[in-house]
Amino acid sequence: MALGENKQKFRAVFLDRDGVLNRAIVRDGRPYAPRRLEDFIILPEAPGAVSRLKLAGYLTIVVTNQKDVGAGLVAMEVVESMHDALRAAMPIDDVRVCTCVDECPCYKPNPGMLVDAAKDWNIDLAASVMIGDRWRDVVAGRNAGCRTIFIDRGYAESLPFGPDLVVPNIADAVERLLASPLKRGQEEQ
């Protein structure tokens, strides 16, 4: 083995941001990212849940679409301040952001952010999990080869196919994930 080469693969939990770690802004049954720092409210159960993932040996990587940046509706500095608040509140290893307005390889439901993180962090995608509150998250996780956990917030949108598990919040997602291995098709309501 060459110097600095590490063959050990890690497992990760990929976390959507809005609606999973912080409160999404919901209008007409659809979730939106907060555009102002004062509207960025971390969900009370998120820090403890992410801390439990770290203690269990998972890498914790946020993967978030932020097309409002690309559309000029919010400054990247504001989004970075939001991510600084997340890092201060919970143990996050990495934050991946797609600011593209149009579809691109990294814009969820495409798996680019997960695949790129897997290369950078030496992650075994098949041993990893994507947790999200939208169909885009479930499809991105599936497209990357991860197991998927869907946080059902009751949005006015449907899933193209079932995730591996459906839960009401991130605390329940982590509890279920750590209690027993998650297998494809283990969906429960």
DSSP code per residue over the chain: --TT-----B-EEEE-SBTTTBPPEEETTEEE---SGGG--B-TTHHHHHHHHHHTT-EEEEEEE-HHHHTTSS-HHHHHHHHHHHHHHS--SEEEEE--SS--TTSTTS-HHHHHHHHHHTB-GGG-EEEESSHHHHHHHHHHT-EEEEE----S---SS--SEEESSHHHHHHHHHHS---TT----
Q: Is the predicted pLDDT of residue 6 greater than 90, yes or no?
A: no
Q: Is the predicted pLDDT of residue 36 greater than 90, yes or no?
A: yes
32-38: average pLDDT: 97
CATH 3.40.50.1000 fits 12-179, yes or no: yes
What's the predicted TM-score (pTM) here?
A: 0.92
Q: Residue 180 — pLDDT band, cuts 50, 70, 90? A: confident
Of residues 74 and 184, which shows the higher confidence score? Answer: 74
79-101: average pLDDT: 97
Q: Is the predicted pLDDT of residue 188 greater than 50, yes or no?
A: no
Q: Is the predicted pLDDT of residue 5 greater than 80, yes or no?
A: no
128-144: average pLDDT: 97
Q: Is the predicted pLDDT of residue 181 greater than 80, yes or no?
A: no
User: Could you tell me the two tokens for 89?
Assistant: 């509140």
Q: Return mean pLDDT, the chain.
A: 93
Q: Is the predicted pLDDT of residue 30 greater than 90, yes or no?
A: yes
Q: Is the predicted pLDDT of residue 144 greater than 50, yes or no?
A: yes
Residue 120's pLDDT is 97
